[in-house]
Amino acid sequence: MTTGTQSEVIIYVVSDSAGDTGELVVRAAVAQFHPLFADIRRAPFIHDEATLERFVKQAKECGGIILYTLVIPGLRKALNRLAKELDVVAIDLLGSLIGSLEQKTGRKSRHEPGLNHVLDADYFRKVEAVEFAVKYDDMRDTSGIKKADIVLVGVSRTSKTPLSMYLAHKKFKVANVPLMPELEPPAELFAIPKEKVIGLTIDVHYLNVIRKERLKALGLPDSAAYATTARIERELLYAADVMNRIGCVVIDVSHRAVEETASLIMECIRS
């Protein structure tokens, strides 16, 4: 399903809990189709059929698909029925697994949403890290640089924000800073230990493709300066100079899934 381009898909993550599990699964799947752009829309804490119907109709209208993590049997049945009636693709992430476990163990599921989010210290650290990543995304507030466990730097479309969110789910507080020739990098970058900073680079031609697809997804001409090879080369040279001045580790994200890059980042931070 697309919205005017073969490089964009709308996915509704429907859950009777927060929807974290569903979104992580969607992001992992979408990463296999890079540079596919996925507009992930969460529909969390759903507890009635009327709300389910509203989201199924929205998915129908925009040509989206649904992935759901509903543990309450009645809601699963209702969504399955609504999706069939409206001819919307709906993927049940938990239903078949819960059924198989019941059959295998001879025990009944508790059918309680959110049991994987037990309100313990570990959960609160994850929530805090996610909130931190949102607050200090894209250099909105440079004070986050000194507070962060990890600071990601790189040019536009090097997966800084997806990496920040993925690492936040691993309980790392991450700030990310875009590097552009027109903007002087914040002084805070040079005042923290270089081991906390991770530079992200990418192949010129690969980034060219990604940026053109992004412009198309936004309904803009792919001939804009943002996606030209000359502009990209200039940005990457500037970014390389900044990273060299910082003395940080640099990771090439070309053709790498977010999960793979995140794993490399965590190895660097923990070493």
Per CATH, the number for 8-117 is 3.40.50.2300
| Helix, strand, or coil (residue 218) | coil
Indicate the burial class of 160 (C-beta count within 10 angstroms; 0-12, 13-18, 19 or more).
buried
Identify the pLDDT of residue 111.
62
Identify the pLDDT of residue 117.
52
Is-contact 3 55, C-beta < 8 A?
no
**Phi, psi of 37, rounded to the nearest 5 degrees:** -100, 120
Region for 106 from its dihedrals, namely left if φ exceeds 0, alpha if ψ lies in -120 to 50, beta otherwise: left
Identify the pLDDT of residue 228.
95
Q: What is the pLDDT along the chain (271 residues), one digit of tens a residue?
A: 434 344 689 999 999 888 888 888 888 888 878 777 889 999 988 989 999 999 999 999 999 999 998 888 899 899 999 999 999 999 988 777 767 777 878 887 766 655 555 545 677 788 899 899 999 998 888 999 999 999 999 999 999 999 999 999 899 999 999 999 999 999 999 999 999 999 999 999 999 999 999 898 888 898 899 999 999 999 999 999 999 999 999 999 999 989 999 999 999 998 7
| Helix, strand, or coil (residue 5) | coil
Count the neighbouring beta carbons within 10 Å of the beta carbon of residue 207: 24
CA distance 51 to 162: 29
Residue 22 corresponds to which tokens in the numbers above?
Answer: 């569903």
Angle between helices 160-168 and 121-135 (to 10 degrees): 160
CA distance 267 to 251: 12
**Which CATH fold topology does 121-270 show?**
Rossmann fold (3.40.50)
Q: Where are the beta strands (DSSP E) in the chain?
A: 8-15, 37-43, 65-69, 90-92, 150-154, 174-178, 197-201, 249-252
Identify the pLDDT of residue 113.
58
Dihedral (CA of 209, 215, 216, 221) sign: negative
Residue ranges of the chain that CATH labels 3.40.50.2300: 8-117
Q: Check whether the bond before 162 is cis (ω within 30° of 0).
A: no
Write down the number of H helices and E strands in the chain: 10, 8
- pTM beyond 0.85: the answer is no
CA distance 178 to 136: 11
CA distance 158 to 17: 31
CA distance 159 to 166: 10
